[in-house]
Every structure is written in C-alpha cells, then in structure tokens.
Structure 1
Amino acid sequence: MQVDFGRTSSDYTQHRAGFPDAFFDRLSREGFLRPGLRALDVGTGTGTVARGLAQRGCAVTALDVSAPMLDAGRKLATDAGLNIDFREAPAEETGLPAGAFDLLTAGQCWHWFHRSAAAREAMRLLVPGGRIVIAHFDWICLRGNVAQATEELMSEFNPNPPAYEHFANGVGIYTQWLRDISDVGFTHLETCSFDVPVFYTPTAWKGRCRASAKVGASLPPAKVERFDAALARLLDERFPGDVLDIPHRVFILTATRP
C-alpha cells in the first residue's frame, strides 16, 4: 500500500494534535531536554514533536520527506512564534554533519523508515553521550469502544493495512525498536509507557481518522468520502453525543550513544 501523508496534510494539521504535554514533561524530568540543546526531529510531519522541543528551549532541526507536511509545519511554527529549521530529507540519509546533535527524536514514524539505516544515521549524527528518543502515541482499541469500531470500519474500506501494524501487537508497545538501536551500538536502553485520555468531537474524530495511513494517506479521494460518511453513521448510531473519550497510550524508548 502506498502511503503519502502529504495527501492529508490539511486534516493532519487540524486534527492530529500530537504528543501530550505529559510526554515532554517526562523527557524534561529525565534530563533529556534543556534550553540550548541541539535537537533533530526526524520524520517530523507537521512538526508536533519539533514544536514541543522548541517551546522548551531546544535549537531544533526538523526533517521529513513530504514537502506538503513540511509546509504545514513551517506555518504552524511561525504562527506559534517558534524558530525551527525545517528541511526535506530522509531519516536514513540526512546529509547533515556527523556529531551535530545532542538529541535525536522520532515520534510516530520509526515504522516508516528503513530502520537499521535510520539507526546507523542516528548514531552518526549524535555526539558521544547524545540520546535518541523513539516514541509513539496510539489510540487503544478496547472491546466495544470507539477506536475498535473505527478500526473495524477502516479494515472494511482498506483490507490491506500498512505492514507496520503488527509491530505494536495492538497494545501500543514497540519492543522491536530495542533491537534496532542496540544492534548499531546504542546503550542504556530504557522504555516506559503511560495512558492518557484524548477527547474529540465527532467532527474532530472523523478528521483524525481521515489523517491516518489507512484512510486519507492511502485511499483515493472518493473512497475517503465514503469512509467519512460511513464513520459519521457509525458514530450517530453507536456512540451518540458531543464528546468522544478515546484512550491513548504513550510509548517511549530512550538510549545513549557511547
């Protein structure tokens, strides 16, 4: 399945808010963030992680392969009064100088990379003692909840899901990433996870779902419209109301370059 998030950059900008403050607070408490830190955010998309780093005083460079997503990210950063260096480049071959960064982050994107190549590039880019943070923020399907019903509808419209889906085993925990980075020499690996509720209006939930790999980033526009209408009917019939409570899980893997 061909996935291009540039096709859904508008919905992505409006409806994918990105990691919660609790994610950045955890990194700050653990000493990963400080003013003046040189940070590189790979697979930045619209820059949700990059903006969080910049808001906490980091000097941020942000990379992505999608020009429309980068354009959206630049506008969001400008509107927020943040200075972020957005560049179009893949995580596996950034073209940036070796040892140029203290921190490298990859939020909600590691599964899209050639992972071993991205890990080697991260090792090259970080200074000795520099840290890598690989993180995900996934909705969690529980029996009978909105997320499960939505996922089932997505599968009806797109029966060939992206290959990344099996990595989290449906629970938002990505153990494979530990092997990816330990194989290239990263040390002091640590993981943590915690759950947070995210509240959506029905309109916002539809937009969030359109901005997913299985819908807006892969289906033809006419099929996206049909999915959107089907999801609206599902919400009206099974989950009526003005607010939807969608459980999400934050997963964080950190490691150090020797």
Structure 2
Amino acid sequence: MIPEGNRSAHIDRFSGFQELYDRHRPEAPPLVIRLLTDYLGRRPGLVVDLGCGTGLSAFPWLDAADRILGVEPGDGMRHIALAKRAAIGSPANLEFVPGYSNRLGLPDGCADIVTCSQSFHWMEPSGTLREAARVLAPGGLFAAYDCDWPPVLTPSVETAYRHLIGSADAWNAAHAPQEQRAVKWNKDGHLSRMEASGHFAFVREVVFHHLERCDAERYVGLTLSQGGVQQALKLEASGLEDEIAAYRERVERHFAGQTLEILFPYRLRLGITPS
C-alpha cells in the first residue's frame, strides 16, 4: 500500500533500466560528504538517504558515517543496491530498505543527516520535509542535491540533449495514460519550500562542480538514463529511436574515441534543524 502523498508513477518511471542507470549515473561527489560533515561539526552517527536508487548516493558514506540507511521504494533499483552491498561483503553499517520519504518508520531524532540525491523533486515536499525534520536530531542536516543536466560539453551536444529530452517529454505528455504521468516539483523551489516549512533554523544553497572521466558511451548512457526518455521508449515514441541514433552519432563524433574529463555542475540545498 503506497502511503498518501506518493505516486506509483514516480516509482514505475524508473523501473526496467536500473542497470543502465547504475552504470552511467555519477556517485555522490566526495565534496558532498565533506560539506555536510563540516556543517554538522562531527562524524555522523546515522545518514538516511531518501530515494537512494541503486545506492550511488549511499555507498560514498561507508567510511564517513557510523551507519547508512538507504530508503528506496522501487524494487528494481533497491535490488541493484543490495547486490552491490553483497559484492563488498555486506557491511553491517549499510542497509537498504523499502520505504517512502513521508513515512519512514524511524524513531524521532535518530539521524544526523538526511539526504535526497537527484530525488527530492519526485517527493511531495511538505510531507517529506516534515518527516525528515522529525527523524533528525537537534542540529541535524537535510540536504537535497542535484546535477544540472546535461554535464558540460559543447553547445551543439547540449542543444541536442535538450531537444531529445524535450521530444520525449512532449510524447509522454501527449500519449502517456493519466495514471502513468509523473509530477515533478521544480528544483528551483527546493530552497524556498525548505525555508517556508519552518522546520529549519538555517537554510542555504551551495553551488559546486565535480570533474569526472567520461567517454561517448557514458555520455549517451547518462542521457538515456533520464526517466522521461525511458518512458517514451516504453510507449514506442514515434521517431525517438532515430533522434537517439543521430544524438549518439553527434556525441561519438565529439569524443572521437577518447575518454575526457568533463564537468558535472551541482546545486545543494541545505537545512539545519534547531539545536
């Protein structure tokens, strides 16, 4: 039973391509761990990662927190995270569980940090913020952070990326059944919603970047890992396969068989509960 305030469409949107997602999406940058730990002022006891997907935002905390709990409602995504955990010896301080951001079933004040990596825009914000504030200890941190898509490359490739995403979104808007349509909350409103919630004594936005090595296969994979593209492919969007092929050719022409260091821009919105 999905708790009120959640939509099955948001879970189903990311089903069926979790291997592609995990292979190409970036892990949480080390700067996130450093930044949040510095604001907290100590090593976190428990980090709760909401909408953790395949664990890309949970595993980087392994050596930086006493315990990490990844919460993910999607079975396919969570199973990848569990398989990766088993592959490294099933560390006792890392768990992945099913759950929803507005009904965690955790004790009051048990967590030092609650994170949402590339996920807060899929969550009903008021209930999520209320639940995050409930499970956070005094002086605890809530952090929602996202990439600015696409990663920095060239005007022509980035324009082609936006056109492809736009084509997929237009097809979904016209052809997806009502129950399959996702509702995203605008990321630009994250900070103002956090501030208006009244749960935090301090809020701010931090903008930074991370450099990662990337080849043409990964850059295209990052594009195809976007939920809107995958939904349009499932709906057999007319002409989309041809547009993807042309996009792939453009990306491959730019990379010319090389692996390059490219810039991933990030925005992190931070809230700290009263001490």
TM-score (norm 2): 0.79
Deviations 1:141-177 (A, max 9, x none): 7771533321212222432576548x35xxxxx3x21
- Output aligned runs, 1:234-245, within 5 Å: 234-237=250-253, 240-243=256-259
Structure 2 counterpart of 1:207, from 218, 221, 229: 221
Q: CA RMSD in A?
A: 2.8
The residue identity in structure 1 corresponding to 2:46 is R
Distance 1:148 1:25, change over 3 A: farther
How far off its partner does 1:118 sit? 0.3
Query: Within 1, Cα distance between the matches of 2:25 and 2:74?
Result: 16
Do residues 26 (structure 1) and 40 (structure 2) align? no
Q: Is contact 2:122–2:183 with CA below 8 Å preserved after alignment?
A: no
Deviations 1:192-248 (A, max 9, x none): 111233332111222222211221255317557555433322324566442355432
How far off its partner does 1:179 sit? 2.5
Structure 1 counterpart of 2:112, from 94, 102, 116: 102
Do residues 13 (structure 1) and 26 (structure 2) align? no
The residue identity in structure 2 corresponding to 1:109 is S
Structure 1 residues not aligned, in runs of 5+? 169-173
Quick one: percent identity of the two aligned structures?
Answer: 22
Q: Is contact 2:138–2:273 with CA below 8 Å preserved after alignment?
A: yes
Query: Within 2, Cα distance between the matches of 1:78 and 1:226?
Result: 39
Moved more, 83-92 or 113-122: 83-92
- Output aligned runs, 1:64-79, within 5 Å: 64-79=72-87
Q: Is contact 1:27–1:33 with CA below 8 Å preserved after alignment?
A: no
Query: Within 2, Cα distance between the matches of 1:141 and 1:207?
Result: 12
How far off its partner does 1:38 sit? 1.2
- Output aligned runs, 1:219-234, within 5 Å: 219-220=233-234, 223=237, 226=242, 228-234=244-250
Query: Within 2, Cα distance between the matches of 1:230 and 1:32?
Result: 49
Do residues 114 (structure 1) and 124 (structure 2) align? yes
Do residues 85 (structure 1) and 98 (structure 2) align? no
Q: Secondary structure at the match of 2:58?
A: helix
Deviations 1:104-138 (A, max 9, x none): 11111110000111001111111222221111123
Structure 1 counterpart of 2:59, from 33, 36, 51: 51
Structure 2 counterpart of 1:63, from 71, 78, 87: 71
Distance 1:213 1:13, change over 3 A: same
Q: Secondary structure at the match of 1:189?
A: strand
The residue identity in structure 2 corresponding to 1:210 is L
How far off its partner does 1:140 sit? 4.5
Distance 1:54 1:32, change over 3 A: farther
Q: Secondary structure at the match of 2:31?
A: helix
Q: Secondary structure at the match of 1:185?
A: coil
Structure 1 counterpart of 2:268, from 233, 252, 255: 252
Distance 1:141 1:151, change over 3 A: farther
Query: Within 1, Cα distance between the matches of 2:255 and 2:29?
Result: 25
Query: Within 1, Cα distance between the matches of 2:266 and 2:18?
Result: 23
Distance 1:236 1:130, change over 3 A: closer
Q: Secondary structure at the match of 2:141?
A: strand
Query: Within 1, Cα distance between the matches of 2:156 and 2:212?
Result: 13
Moved more, 212-221 or 45-54: 212-221
Do residues 180 (structure 1) and 180 (structure 2) align? no
Distance 1:217 1:21, change over 3 A: farther
Structure 2 residues not aligned, in runs of 5+? 1-8, 174-181
TM-score (norm 1): 0.84
Q: Secondary structure at the match of 2:266?
A: strand
The residue identity in structure 2 corresponding to 1:191 is E
Query: Within 2, Cα distance between the matches of 1:189 and 1:128?
Result: 15
Query: Within 1, Cα distance between the matches of 2:257 and 2:215?
Result: 8
